[in-house]
Amino acid sequence: MHETTGITRRKSRMIHVGQVAVGGDAPISVQSMTNTETCDVAATVAQIQRLVAAGADIVRVSIPTMEAAQAFAEIRKAVDVALVTDIHFDYRIALEVAKFGADCLRINPGNIGREDRVRQVVEAARDRGICIRIGVNAGSLEKELQKKYGEPNAEALVESALRHMEILERLNFRDYKVSLKASNIAMAVAAYRKMATLTEQPLHLGITEAGALRGGTVKSAIGLGMLLAEGIGDTLRVSLAADPVEEVKVGFEILKSLGLRKKGVNLIACPSCSRQEFDVIATVNALEARLEDVQESIDVAVIGCVVNGPGEAKEVQVGLAGGSPNLLYKDGKPHSKVSNEDLVDTLERAVREELKRRAASTPVIPIKALS
């Protein structure tokens, strides 16, 4: 599709989580978090690899104990993706994972303890080129803020974040990003909107504890979509009580729907009705499952009848319009007739042929030219 997004992104400072740029004009990155027992290295590595295969740019791992920090050392050796370590209270854990190759420390400086301890963590991050994420959550606000505001609200989230940010700024550390998460959509959106006017640091978006797969997806799409459409947000996590792989899939779908990322198959499909010439729902579900491995951007339309089918099919790289007979389109032009029995096989083959054609036509840049 040829429409532009019309979204002007907020100008933010660029930092790096490992090799992943966050902020500035970098693409909005998608994160998820492991839910395995971190000390089970094999299970955690396997889950990280599944997240990477699904397209995750960054993966967060909880490090609640020193034993988990030791396990992280082995996890780090086994995977190449950018890793964020989630740490609370014990500054010594942060110092350990910094030595073991963490790309980002998710901490709240205010709960690390005395300033000398915070300074040690900050200096370890500075020395190793590690960034920090300040993560404020409505469920864990400081007691004095709970007393001041009576209950969690956007103002309390912002004040908490500013307190933590002031500590890092005082230590002349600027390689950090900020999140202000709440399960209440209105609260989270208001907090992010306010923070976007107060700092140029990159913002990590999330609606925390959003719920199960269906409900959490809806809440995240609404909350994150509102912010992203206003140009707010540099990286995001969709928090679901579901397989973390689903978080990555939903995150990319949100970005793709706003035209902010193009990765994988953008599947345009009608909801089906009595006009359909084939089983649209079964065809789309089967095709989506077969093409989950595709990382390249490609638009595919599956429309069940001739009312909208030809029009949609002409706007994408691969399209199917239901009719008598069904008609396959390639690059906006009618290509061949397709029987109902061959729909999924034909569509999958057409998509993979298009991707193969693109790869073959992409010029190879000599290594010398890159030096």
pLDDT tens, residue by residue, 207-223:
999 999 999 999 999 99
| Amino acid identity, position 177 | K
Give pLDDT, residue 4. Answer: 56
Residue ranges in the chain whose pLDDT is less than 70: 1-5, 363-371
Tokens 């709240």: give the residue: 108
Nearest to 68 by CA among 49, 40, 43: 40
Q: What's the confidence (pLDDT) of residue 88? A: 86
**Which stretch of DSSP H or E encloses residue 265?**
strand 265-269
User: Residue 183 belongs to what H/E stretch?
Assistant: none
CB-CB contact of 267 with 286 (8 Å): no
Measuring CA to CA, which residue among 60, 37, 53 is closest to residue 237? 60
* H or E element, residue 71: helix 66-78
| Distance of alpha carbon 116 from alpha carbon 109, whole angstroms | 11
What does the block give as tokens for 88? 């609370």
Residue 105 is which amino acid? L
What pLDDT does residue 32 have? Answer: 97
Cβ–Cβ under 8 Å, residues 250 and 220: yes
Tell me how far apart the alpha carbons of residues 32 and 238 are, in angstroms, rounded to a whole number: 7
Q: Which residues pair with 176 in a beta bridge?
A: 132
Residue pair 135/181 in contact (Cβ under 8 Å)? The answer is: yes
Contacts of 354 (CB under 8 A, 6+ apart): 298, 317, 318, 330, 331
Residue 366: the pLDDT is 54
Give the contacts of 15 (CB within 8 A, at least 6 positions apart): 21, 22, 23, 131, 175, 176, 177, 201, 202
Buried b / exposed e across 18-55, counting CB within 10 Å, b at 16+? bebbbbeebbbbbbbbbebebbebeebbebbebbbebb
What residues are paired with 61 via a beta bridge? 85
| CB distance 35 to 244 below 8 Å | yes
Q: What pTM value is reported for the model? A: 0.90
Looking at residue 1, what is its pLDDT? 43
List helix spans (H) across the chain: 41-54, 66-78, 91-99, 115-128, 143-149, 154-170, 185-198, 213-229, 244-257, 280-290, 309-313, 343-361, 367-370
